Structure 1
């Protein structure tokens, strides 16, 4: 299970990136991205959620991280990533529909990263299958330095807890732990 002081797992993410040399209505190509591509040499906030296009994720979590991106930068964060056990096609369309410009979307289509983080849960009661439990983390050069997991971790939970992984909560933690702010890092 992921905890403070551990490194994020090494995996390869199957992404789709825009390529203007491709004609037609779907000008994207496959591109493998590694854990190092997202986390090496950077201070990032990663938040993970049960699914793209779902109510809490689309109404609060992703839009609020997007809106608060500048506040996170002021606290020394280089990037914010949203991860879900969805494929690259779904994540790209969701980002497009949300007008996302600041938050990077990471498709964990097979759930490998989520499983290795110890956060894979069954959501069969909702017809989702295996998905990520909702959490956030502050990651410094691949090492987890802050961990924000929603309460009640379990399979087939009837509720959708959302408190500790909210951007407001994570930002407050960063403000209270100033060694992670850029202006105070040597």
Structure 2
């Protein structure tokens, strides 16, 4: 059952890849453990989750919408915006680059940065720990061959607690044929933040 408004988000460790110029060479990246508390404690953040990097709706509309409205959402009282998917850190970085997201040149200046993008930060939930903890795990095996992924949703998290959550279709559907995208978009989030 999905978590609801007022619940605390799951405390997990994200296995991230971040730039470390001291390594040198063509692959100057190292592993960094980033905890949910690093991202959400004492802050107000937006997290939106989607079924997969490189997938059509996620790539054409979902992530681009939040990139486009990044400054407006932050101006509405949000400290940062995170995009979460059940993909590993390598896939998330390549997807961000393919999407034209601007990469950080250094990571050392931001010790809590879970990735290397200046606007929306891409969170790799490769082991599905956060997604399961949210009660948002779903399986697309016969339908798309995805396996276990996240249902599409967005939320505002204030100091580790869910302030507002938008779940597509109102409920999770296992092996869903449709992939609804009506309420977790950036426009809906911005409207909530600016009319609250």
Q: 1:41 deviation in Å?
A: 1.4
Superposed, which structure 2 residues align to 1:46-125 within 5 Å?
46-100=47-101, 101-124=118-141, 125=143
Residue 146 of structure 2 is matched in structure 1 by: 128
Among candidates 154, 173, 186, match of residue 192 of structure 2:
173
> Offset at 1:117?
0.2
Q: In the alignment, what sits opposite 2:165? A: 147
Distance 1:159 1:84 in 2: 18
Structure-1 separation of matches of 2:23 and 2:94: 18
Question: What TM-score do you get using the length of structure 1 for normalisation?
Answer: 0.93
Aligned to 2:42, the other structure's residue is in SS state coil
Unpaired stretches in structure 1, ≥5 consecutive residues: 178-186
Distance in 2 of aligned mates of 1:64 and 1:162: 12
CA drift of 1:25 comes to 2.0
Q: Find the aligned partners of 2:178 and 2:26 in 1 and give their Cα distance.
A: 39
In structure 1, how many angstroms separate the alpha carbons of the residues matched to 2:5 and 2:182?
Answer: 19
RMSD, aligned α-carbons:
0.9
**Aligned-pair distance for 1:99?**
2.2
Aligned pairs, number: 177
**Post-superposition CA distance 1:52-102 (Å, at most 9, x none):** 011100100101100101111221011000000000000111111112230
The Cα of 1:143 is off from its aligned counterpart by 0.8
C-alpha distance in 2, partners of 1:47/1:21? 32
Q: Which runs of 5+ in 2 are unaligned?
A: 102-117
TM-score by length of 2: 0.88
Please identify which structure carries the higher helix content.
1
